[in-house]
């Protein structure tokens, strides 16, 4: 079946189209000519002229903050000099805003970072009107069944000092993250029944590729598209193929015997090498409208040995002002901002109507930890990119006193931009002033 069937009833016909094979479903990006030809004119949300495109939200957080002297510039404004951790983002300077002075007013060090997206610690949730529901889940409540996945939570599980624990339901239950790219890839592209999963495994074992499995449908589809949409579809297939290649390479290396290290296996993760693939898969999920909300948790088990460092991420974050520890920590943190910059570039490269996917995606980047060395949760590192806001500067807010502004005010502004009719969230006192 090439096209999904229009729904009956008062709702407009679906603008989603899929390529299908036994056990496999490949969602397609917005294709203007396909929408018009399928339904005889532009469809709401289909991306045709005059249609309303959905807003998306991505929240990225790490467990241990960032080294503040290399994260916050010395002077506010649009012409700030980027410190080391912001240099990878220089080409996107006009696409994001950096904030300082924003936080949730909570204490607890590692035991308070889980409040990053909620503003509320779990122990304080009973006294709050909406508990400790997180920003992503509050936005997901407004989506309903508009997308296959109301939200996607992605990340690794690394224990009390490693897990970000970012996503929480209204009832106070943590949303467990999808642990890796292979699991995320299968969640996005392999059907969920036991029979379908088995059929997909057999087909992929024979063909080795989701794209190869749906090749017949793809050829039929291309005859229905104009030149611009054929180019867009080719770019999308190329992106899917790149992810498949990365997953295949990781599988091949997993089967190659490794030398005997002469020691017990250390506790580590593959999250360093997985991070670019996870970002690519998030872009695919947004591009196909499989979801409009995604979160990515970068936990404390982030594998420092991948960079030749002897101490782990958590130990380096407690640097004690020792230069060697700080230098090692900055290597890990710079890699994170490099991959974040790469993700923004990928979203900017995806055209959507008269703009880009980044124009319709709010991307929050930061941490519930401010200074891991001192175990403080005040003045959190926060960046907001995309989403159609007017960006390009470094905005500072008072860290204490009468002018103190809750980070949740930014979240209210984001929820309103997402389309949620609300004037409060968590510990907010309003929207964030100066954000346009």
Whether 41 is in a domain gets the answer: yes
Whether residue 277 sits in one domain with residue 155: yes
Say whether both 64 and 36 belong to one domain.
Answer: no
So what's the pLDDT on residue 268? 32
Residue 337 lies in a domain: yes
The answer as to whether 297 is a domain residue is: yes
State pLDDT tens for residues 266-295.
333 467 888 988 999 899 889 888 899 999
Q: Are residues 279 and 394 in the same domain?
A: yes
CA distance 272 to 250: 12
What value does the mean pLDDT take over residues 306-325? 94
Confidence tier at 299 by pLDDT (50, 70, 90): confident
In this prediction, residue 95 carries a pLDDT of 97
How does residue 119 score in pLDDT terms, banded at 50, 70 and 90?
Answer: very high
Residue 154 lies in a domain: yes
User: What local confidence, expressed as pLDDT, does residue 46 receive?
Assistant: 33
The tally of domains found in the chain comes to 2
Angstrom distances, CA of residue 62 to CA of 269, 366, 424: 15, 7, 25
Does the residue 102 lie in any domain?
yes
Based on the fold, state whether residues 94 and 214 are members of the same structural domain.
Answer: no
214 and 326 co-located in one domain: no
pLDDT score, position 359: 96
Q: How far lies 190's CA from each of 21, 292, 322, in Å? A: 10, 19, 48
Residue 220's pLDDT is 73
Same-domain pairing of 45 and 60: no
- The pLDDT assigned to 435 comes to 84
Would you state the structure tokens that stand for residue 390, as one six-digit string?
């007017």
pLDDT at 269: 44
321: containing domain: 55-180+271-436
Same domain, 243 and 280: no
Give CA–CA dist 261/276, Å, rounded: 27
Q: Is the pLDDT of residue 117 over 90?
A: yes
- Is pLDDT above 90 for 156? no
Cα 258 from chain centre:
33
The average pLDDT across 106-110 equals 93
> Token digits for 201?
């495994």
Mean pLDDT of the chain: 81
Rounded Cα distance between 366 and 335, Å, is 14
- Range with the largest mean pLDDT of 2-16, 38-52, 224-238, 327-341: 327-341
The arithmetic mean of pLDDT across residues 30-57, rounded, is 55
Res. 21 pLDDT band, cuts 50 70 90: low
Residue 257 pLDDT exceeds 60: no
Q: What percent of the chain has pLDDT over 90?
A: 52
Lookup result for tokens 């909406």: 130
User: Do 28 and 170 have their domain in common?
Assistant: no
* Domain CATH number, residue 408: 3.40.720.10
The pLDDT, as a whole number, for residue 3 is 31
* Contact predicate 366/82, CB 8 Å: no
Residue 313: which pLDDT band, with cuts at 50, 70 and 90? very high
Q: Answer for the pair 436, 416: CB distance below 8 angstroms, yes or no.
A: no
The answer to whether position 259 is within a domain reads: no
CB 298 within 8 A of CB 155: yes
Identify whether residues 15 and 113 lie together within a single domain.
no
Dist CA 276 CA 279 (whole Å): 5
Q: Are residues 137 and 277 in the same domain?
A: yes
Q: Domain for residue 62, yes or no?
A: yes
pTM for the predicted model, two decimal places: 0.77
Give the C-alpha separation, 327 to 284, whole Å. Answer: 34
**Domain identity same for 43 and 89:** no
Partners of 362 in the β-ladder:
57, 386
Average pLDDT over residues 333-337: 97
More confident residue, 36 or 84: 84
For the ranges 24-33, 106-115, 264-273, which has the lowest average pLDDT? Answer: 264-273
Q: Does residue 91 carry a pLDDT above 50? A: yes
| Three-state SS annotation for the chain | CCECCCCCCCCCCCCCEEEEECCEEEECCCCHHHHHHHHCCCCCCCCCCCCCCCCEEEEEEECCECCHHHCCCCCCECCCCCCHHHHHHHHHHHHEEEEECCECCCCCHHHHHHHCCCCCCHHHHHHCCCCCCCHHHHHHHCCCCCCCCCCEEEECCCCCCCCCCCCECCCCCECCCECCHHHHHHHHHECCCHHHHHHHHHHHHHHCCHHHHCHHHHHHHHCCCCHHHHHHHHHHHHHHHHHHHHHHHHHHHHCCCCCCCCCCCCCCCCHHHHHHHHHHHHHHHHHCCCCCEEEEEECCCCCHHHHCCCCCHHHHHCCCCCHHHHHHHHHHHHHHHHHHHHHHHHHHHCEECCEECHHHEEEEEEECCCECCCCECCCCCEEEEECCCCCCCEEECCCCCCCCCEHHHHHHHHHHHHCCCCCCCCCCCCCCCCCC
More confident residue, 303 or 17: 303
In angstroms, the CA 237 to CA 251 distance is: 21
Residues 346 and 432 in one domain: yes
pLDDT of residue 253: 42
pLDDT band (50, 70, 90) for residue 209 = low
Task: Give the model's pLDDT for residue 180.
Answer: 84
């Amino acid at each position: 079946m090439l096209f999904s069937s229009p729904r009956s009833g008062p709702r407009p016909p679906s603008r989603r189209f899929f390529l299908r094979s036994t056990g496999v479903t490949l969602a397609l990006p917005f294709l203007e000519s396909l929408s018009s030809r399928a339904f005889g004119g532009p469809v709401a949300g289909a991306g045709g002229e005059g249609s309303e495109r959905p807003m998306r939200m991505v929240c990225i957080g790490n467990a241990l903050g960032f080294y503040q002297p290399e994260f916050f510039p010395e002077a506010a404004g649009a012409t700030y000099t980027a410190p080391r951790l912001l240099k990878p983002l220089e080409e996107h300077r006009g696409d994001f805003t950096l904030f300082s002075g924003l936080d949730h007013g909570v204490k607890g060090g590692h035991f308070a970072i889980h409040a990053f997206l909620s503003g509320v610690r779990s122990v304080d949730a009973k006294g709050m009107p909406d508990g400790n529901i997180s920003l992503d889940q509050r936005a997901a409540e407004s989506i309903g069944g508009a997308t296959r996945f109301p939200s996607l939570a992605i990340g690794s599980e690394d224990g009390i000092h490693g897990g970000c624990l970012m996503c929480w339901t209204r009832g106070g239950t943590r949303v467990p993250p999808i642990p890796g790219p292979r699991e995320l890839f299968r969640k996005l592209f392999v059907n969920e029944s036991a029979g379908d999963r088995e059929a997909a495994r057999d087909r992929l074992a024979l063909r080795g590729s989701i794209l190869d499995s749906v090749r017949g449908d793809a050829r039929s589809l291309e005859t229905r598209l104009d030149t611009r949409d054929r180019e867009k579809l080719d770019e999308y297939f190329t992106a899917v193929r790149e992810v498949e290649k990365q997953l295949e390479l990781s599988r091949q290396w997993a089967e190659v015997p490794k030398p005997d290290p002469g020691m017990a296996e250390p506790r580590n993760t593959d999250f360093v090498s997985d991070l670019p693939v996870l970002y690519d898969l998030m872009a695919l999920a947004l591009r196909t409208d499989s979801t409009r909300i995604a979160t990515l948790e970068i936990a404390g088990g982030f594998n420092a040995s991948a960079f030749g460092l002897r101490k782990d991420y958590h130990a380096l974050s407690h640097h004690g002002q020792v230069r060697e520890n700080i230098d090692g920590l900055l290597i890990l943190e710079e890699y994170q901002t490099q991959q974040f910059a790469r993700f923004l570039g990928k979203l900017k490269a995806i055209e959507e109507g008269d703009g880009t996917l980044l124009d319709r995606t709010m991307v929050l980047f930061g941490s519930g930890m401010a200074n891991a060395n001192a175990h403080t949760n005040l003045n959190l590192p926060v960046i907001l990119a995309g989403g159609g806001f007017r960006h390009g500067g470094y905005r500072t807010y008072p860290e204490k006193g009468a002018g103190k502004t809750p980070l949740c005010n930014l979240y209210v502004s984001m929820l309103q931009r997402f389309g949620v009719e609300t004037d409060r969230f968590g510990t907010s006192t309003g929207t964030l002033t100066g954000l346009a």
